[in-house]
Amino acid sequence: MCGLFNSFLDRDGVYTDNEVKAFVAVVCFFYVTLYSIYNNFLKATKQAVMDKILSFFGDMAYGMSDIHYSCINKSELFPNFDFEEIDDCFKGSYEEVNINVSEHKLIRGTGKREKTIFKGIFILFDFNKKFKGKTIVYSNNIINNTFSCVRGKKVDVNLEDVVFSKEWKVKATDQIEARYVLTPMLMEQMLKIKKLFKGNGIEFSFFDNKLFIAIPTYKNLFETTSLFSSTLGYHRVQNVIYQFYCIFSIVKILKLKKDDN
């Protein structure tokens, strides 16, 4: 490649159109090839590192998740969106609780009208209680939250916990069942989750005997690799381990393991 550049530059600026086109084609070919090698390097090293880190927490599979359009749509936390982009994801079992995690971006519209309506993490847990309906916990801190995504008949649920009610509004298919799900202890623990993730926009949805959590963040999480620094750089790995710790700690904070209640 260097020889090609030197040969081309030694011509004193006199080139035919075909020579220029050929030179540009060769440069583009090498650029695409190097970019592909770079991407493959990142994917391979990241897969190895993430698999190793996740193995400390339980039986986990990196690069796999059950969180997709239908699951997000069923949560009724978001208005209609047209596209989803998935970055890092994993699923498995932690403390005997099934868990799915996905770094997601939801987009509405196309072209100049394209708008990102969510960027952050979705977490899906098996819940430790059985219930038939749906209970949705919306953040009071999201601007212009008009509940436009709520479908079907829902009722407002007024709860006695003043601190909780300052942070969230609750809609459900059944008042009694919502209170069965949102016990005083669980509401207290949900406030701890909010504090842990320092997120004003964190929201929850209970459906199909599962708990779905949406945590907005505009940071790019779970990044362990770089072409320009050690793949196992201390600070990168330390940050990812802490991010995993926060996610898995939800299981203990909310006492999702069945024999914890």
Kindly tell me if the per-residue pLDDT of 1 is higher than 60.
Answer: no
Over the stretch 90-138, which tens digit does the pLDDT of each residue have? 999 998 999 999 999 999 888 888 889 899 999 999 999 999 999 999 9
**Residue carrying structure tokens 């047209």:** 82
Between 29 and 169, the more confident residue is 169
Kindly tell me if the per-residue pLDDT of 232 is higher than 60.
Answer: no
CB 113, CB 164: distance < 8 Å: no
Residue 2: the pLDDT is 47
Tell me how many degrees the CA angle 206-208-212 measures, rounded to the nearest 5: 40
Over the stretch 196-227, which tens digit does the pLDDT of each residue have? 888 678 999 999 999 999 999 877 776 655 54
Over the stretch 41-98, which tens digit does the pLDDT of each residue have? 556 667 777 888 888 888 888 888 999 999 999 999 987 788 999 988 999 999 899 9
Indicate the pTM of the whole model.
0.78
Write out the DSSP string of 130-181.
Answer: --SS-EEEEETTSTT---TT--S--EE---S-HHHHHHEEEEES-HHHHHHH
- The chain-wide mean pLDDT, for the chain, equals 80
Kindly tell me if the per-residue pLDDT of 146 is higher than 50.
Answer: no
Over the stretch 11-45, which tens digit does the pLDDT of each residue have? 555 556 665 566 566 666 555 555 455 455 556 66
**Residue carrying structure tokens 């007024």:** 158
Looking only at the bridges linking them, the beta strands covering 97-108 and 83-94 are antiparallel
Of the candidates 191, 193, 199, 202, the one whose C-alpha atom is nearest the C-alpha of residue 249 is: 193
Alpha-carbon distance of 101 to 53, in angstroms, equals: 15
- Token pair belonging to 145: 């939250």
* Confidence bin at 244 (pLDDT 50/70/90): confident
Task: Tell me the mean pLDDT in the region 172-191.
Answer: 94
Residue 227: the pLDDT is 47
CB 78, CB 153: distance < 8 Å: no
DSSP state of 111: G
Task: Tell me the mean pLDDT in the region 8-12.
Answer: 51
* Confidence bin at 228 (pLDDT 50/70/90): very low
| Integer Rg of the chain from CA | 24
Q: Can you say whether residue 91 is alpha, beta or left, with left for phi > 0 and alpha for psi between -120 and 50 degrees?
A: beta
Q: Is the dihedral of CA 181, 187, 188, 191 positive or negative?
A: positive
Strands (E), the chain: 59-62, 83-94, 97-108, 115-126, 135-139, 155-156, 168-172, 203-207, 210-216
